[in-house]
């Protein structure tokens, strides 16, 4: 039994009642990481000394000055910069990079009194769906160590699923929070584009990237989003839209909720077990007073192609800053500046990152710009319009998060196109900029499945209300992997 | 669109400032060819008069007050620079002799 089986409310209760201290929670995180991380391989860097010191100080703060997340441990994806704590994006090109400021979300975590225990592995620069593209280690799925945790925030999901930490932050460009949350049986939210500041998030595709929370239950997820959301002068794309008090709206009541189910989301390539789990979930929601109707998002099939052109194009531009001059890896033995650039990047980037930089550069180059980049942007307009239209008549859209449960390590590594297809149900959401959550909704061969609930722009509240009502009516979120109890 | 040739791939690698071996060029030509073939399906879409989306929200020119703000200290900004001389970033020759 670990303390991290408890929800944030139970943890605060325990602190109040003197059953344990903040220092005990921090110690518990490091002890579990020490016990389990040889198997799970989630953490790239640990913040042990500072976190322990911080926890001891925080135990002195009077209870009336503490918020609901005060003193609770959290892991942070390694593409979010943390001052004085190595941040590599799981890339060799940033080996040894020591950020000189905190991302806005990291500041906000500190303001909320959360204790950052370490940095979490990922696919290099968030490009991947399995964590196999990390330059450092391959994170494993805590439910079955032969399977991937998903990606790119694979370790953010795996660390929470393994009970190493009760909270984590991930980032989602095409499904990178939701797909690993589904694969690992935890709750992961990709907020509306602009809801959370991207300042200090190492950019992959700037028009798609969002930071979001991963937790073991919906209530804690809503609490954490509330803590990190809001407009930020340092990110001109962050939205000046008020952040609601999400948790105050979680009452389990969804009577009259209008649910749309896109037929494209239960079509070809989606496993029978995944379909069944979603259909059963819809029955549960109907039982709670929601109405369910089938709709069509006719341009869904074009989302994958549009996404790979657009995200790779943006990446090829964003990643041009890694040139070996001001930070990170620098190639040696070069004759001139051009060679320094080329060798640093050739030796510093992994294969998938290079592939996407090449695809993006090609899509943006003279002669192909109109045929690929502009065409993909136009497809994006049509995909977004599909969502706008459905949301005229419905409150949420529901489908699976991923077409199958987690696949085996090594199964798709040599075939980029099959690997990309894992994200077919999550990618359109990023193109449309709408928010979506993945919550546990079943199992296939002992591996978790995720239910995806998609909402209107800036309506995370309805998503959370729906997810909470479903969670209260089911038991899936209470299951834990076997390794949970420790060796 | 025809498959990418090895020469085209090498040209793109140069634009992207990536050193590339012959073998890699071959591999990328094949893989990028598959991905661009897949992207060809976008041509099924009639996009006449469809505006391209660069950004989901129409954000333009977000301004702040024109008041000077303190930036990071120079010393701090030099912390991650591998090669430096007298507080300046050192790079190899830009022009060949």
Q: pLDDT per residue over B57-72, tens digit each?
A: 887 888 889 999 899 9
Q: Regarding beta strands A436-444 and A291-295, do their DSSP bridges make them parallel or antiparallel, or are they unpaired?
A: unpaired
Backbone conformation region of residue A354, classed left if phi is above 0, alpha if psi is from -120 to 50, else beta: alpha
Alpha carbon A268 to chain centroid distance? 25
CB contact under 8 A, B92 and A384: no
Helix, strand, or coil (residue B92): coil
Per CB-CB distance under 8 Å, the chain B contacts of A342 are 17-19
% of chain B residues with pLDDT over 70: 97
The dihedral through the CA atoms of A347, A353, A358, A361 has a sign that is negative
pLDDT at A487: 46
Strands of the sheet containing A436-444, edge to edge, are A43-46, A115-120, A73-77, A167-172, A210-215, A187-190, A436-444, A447-454, A396-400, A258-262, A291-295
Residue B15 has its nearest CB partner, among A194, A239, A361, at: A361
Nearest chain A Cα to B43, which residue? A375
CB contact under 8 A, B96 and A337: no
CB contact under 8 A, B35 and A339: no
CA-derived radius of gyration, chain B: 23
CB pairs under 8 A between A and B: 159
User: Which one of A198, A306, A336, A362 would you mutate to disrupt binding with B, by most B Cβ within 10 Å of its Cβ?
Assistant: A362
Residue B92 has its nearest CB partner, among A239, A340, A371, at: A340
A227 has a chain B CB within 8 A of its CB: no
Q: Name the phi and psi angles at A181, rounded to 5.
A: -60, -40
A234 has a chain B CB within 8 A of its CB: no
CB contact under 8 A, A380 and B62: no
Residue A207 has its nearest CB partner, among B32, B45, B54, at: B54
Helix, strand, or coil (residue B6): helix
pLDDT at A486: 60
Is pLDDT above 50 for B1?
A: no
Per CB-CB distance under 8 Å, the chain B contacts of A317 are none
User: A75 with A156: CB under 8 angstroms?
Assistant: yes
- Residues of A assigned a catalytic role: 77, 152, 176
The CA distance from B44 to the nearest CA of chain A, in Å, is: 9
A336 has a chain B CB within 8 A of its CB: yes
The CA distance from B54 to the nearest CA of chain A, in Å, is: 7
Q: What is the pLDDT along chain A (487 residues), one digit of tens a residue?
A: 688 999 999 999 999 999 999 999 999 999 999 999 999 999 999 999 999 999 999 999 999 999 999 999 999 999 999 999 999 999 999 999 999 999 999 999 999 999 999 999 999 999 999 999 999 999 999 999 999 999 999 999 999 999 999 999 999 999 999 999 999 999 999 999 999 999 999 999 999 999 999 999 999 999 999 999 999 999 999 999 999 999 999 999 999 999 999 999 998 889 999 999 999 999 999 999 999 999 999 999 999 999 999 999 999 999 999 999 999 999 999 999 999 999 999 999 999 999 999 999 999 998 899 999 999 999 999 999 999 999 999 999 999 999 999 999 999 877 777 777 788 899 999 999 999 999 999 999 999 999 999 999 999 999 999 999 999 999 999 999 999 876 4
Nearest chain B Cα to A236, which residue? B62
Secondary structure, 3-state, chain A: CCHHHCCHHHHHHHHHCCCCCHHHHHHHHHHHHHHHHHHHCCEEEECHHHHHHHHHHHCCCCHHHCCCCCCCEEEEECCECECCECCCCCCHHHCCCCCCCCCHHHHHHHHCCCEEEEEECCCHHHCCCCCCCCCCCCCCECCECCECCCCCCHHHHHHHHCCCCCEEEEEECCCCCHHHHHHHCCEEEECCCCCECCCCECCCCCCCCEEEEEECCHHHHHHHHHHHECCECCECCCCCCCCCCHHHHCCCCCCCCEEEEEHHHHCCCCCHHHHHHHHHHHHHHHHCCCEEEEECCCCHHHHHHHHHHHHHHHHHHHHHHCCCCCCCCCCCCCCCHHHHHHHHHHHHCCHHHHHHHHHHHHHHCCCCHHHHHHHHHHHHHHHHHHHHHHCCCCCEEEEECCCCCCCECCCCCCCHHHHHHCCCCCHHHHHHCCCEEEEEEEEECCEEEEEEEECCCCCHHHHHHHHHHHHHHCCHHHCCCHHHHCC
Per CB-CB distance under 8 Å, the chain B contacts of A346 are 18-20
Q: What is the ipTM of this complex?
A: 0.95
> Residue A171's closest CA among A149, A148, A191?
A191
Interface of A with B in 174-213 (CB under 8 A): 193-194, 207
Q: Has this prediction a pTM greater than 0.95? A: yes
Nearest chain A Cα to B11, which residue? A362
d(CA A396, CA A452): 10
pLDDT at A60: 98
Is pLDDT above 90 for B2?
A: no
Per CB-CB distance under 8 Å, the chain B contacts of A241 are none
d(CA A1, CA A163): 10
Residue B17 has its nearest CB partner, among A233, A341, A433, at: A341
d(CA A210, CA A193): 6
């Amino acid at each position: 039994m670990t303390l991290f089986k408890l929800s944030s409310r139970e943890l605060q209760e325990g602190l109040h009642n003197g059953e344990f201290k903040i220092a005990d929670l921090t110690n518990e995180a490091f002890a579990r990481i020490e016990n389990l991380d040889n198997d799970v391989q989630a953490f790239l860097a640990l913040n042990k000394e500072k976190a322990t010191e911080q926890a001891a100080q925080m135990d002195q703060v009077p209870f009336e000055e503490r918020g609901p997340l005060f003193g609770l441990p959290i892991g942070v994806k390694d593409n979010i910069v943390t001052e004085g704590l190595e941040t590599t994006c799981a890339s060799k090109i940033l080996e040894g990079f020591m950020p000189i400021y905190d991302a806005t979300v990291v500041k906000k975590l500190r303001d909320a009194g959360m204790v950052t225990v370490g940095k979490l592995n990922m696919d290099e620069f968030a490009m991947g769906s399995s964590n196999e593209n990390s330059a450092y280690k391959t994170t494993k799925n805590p439910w079955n160590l032969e399977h991937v945790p998903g990606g790119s925030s694979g370790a953010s999901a795996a660390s929470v699923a393994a009970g190493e930490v009760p909270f984590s932050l991930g980032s989602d460009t095409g499904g990178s929070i939701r797909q690993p949350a589904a694969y690992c049986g935890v709750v992961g939210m990709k907020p509306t584009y602009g809801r959370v500041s991207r300042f200090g998030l190492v950019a992959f595709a700037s028009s798609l990237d969002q930071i979001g929370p991963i937790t073991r239950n919906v209530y804690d997820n809503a609490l954490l989003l509330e803590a990190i959301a809001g407009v930020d002068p340092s990110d001109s794309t962050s939205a000046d839209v008020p952040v609601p008090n999400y948790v105050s709206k979680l009452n389990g009541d969804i009577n009259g909720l209008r649910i749309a189910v896109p037929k494209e989301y239960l079509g070809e390539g989606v496993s029978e077990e995944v379909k069944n789990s979603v259909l059963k979930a819809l029955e549960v929601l109907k039982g709670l007073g929601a109405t369910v109707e089938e709709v069509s998002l006719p341009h869904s099939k074009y989302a994958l192609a549009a996404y790979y052109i657009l995200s790779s194009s943006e990446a090829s531009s964003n990643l041009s800053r890694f040139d070996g001059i001001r930070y990170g890896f620098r190639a040696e033995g070069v004759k001139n500046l051009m060679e320094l650039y080329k060798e640093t990047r050739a030796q510093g980037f992994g294969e998938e990152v290079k592939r996407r930089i090449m695809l993006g550069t090609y899509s943006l180059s003279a002669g192909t710009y109109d045929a690929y980049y502009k065409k993909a942007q136009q497809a994006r307009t049509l995909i977004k319009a599909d969502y706008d239209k459905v949301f005229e008549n419905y409150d949420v859209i529901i489908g699976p998060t991923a077409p199958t449960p987690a696949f085996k390590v090594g199964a798709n590594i040599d075939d980029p196109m099959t690997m990309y297809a894992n994200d077919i149900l999550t990618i359109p959401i990023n193109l449309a900029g709408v928010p979506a959550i993945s919550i546990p909704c079943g199992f296939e061969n002992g591996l978790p499945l995720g239910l995806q609930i998609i909402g209107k722009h800036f309506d995370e509240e309805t998503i959370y209300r729906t997810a909470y009502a479903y969670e209260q009516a089911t038991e899936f979120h209470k299951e834990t992997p076997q390794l949970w109890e420790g060796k | 669109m025809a498959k990418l040739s090895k020469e085209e791939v090498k040209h793109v690698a140069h634009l992207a400032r990536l050193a590339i071996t012959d073998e890699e060029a071959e591999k990328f030509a094949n893989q990028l060819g598959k991905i661009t073939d897949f992207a060809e399906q976008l041509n099924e879409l009639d996009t006449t008069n469809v505006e391209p989306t660069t950004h989901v929200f129409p954000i333009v020119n977000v301004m702040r007050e024109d008041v000077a703000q303190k930036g990071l200290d120079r010393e701090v900004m030099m912390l991650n620079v591998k090669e430096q001389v007298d507080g300046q970033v050192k790079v190899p020759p830009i022009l060949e002799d």
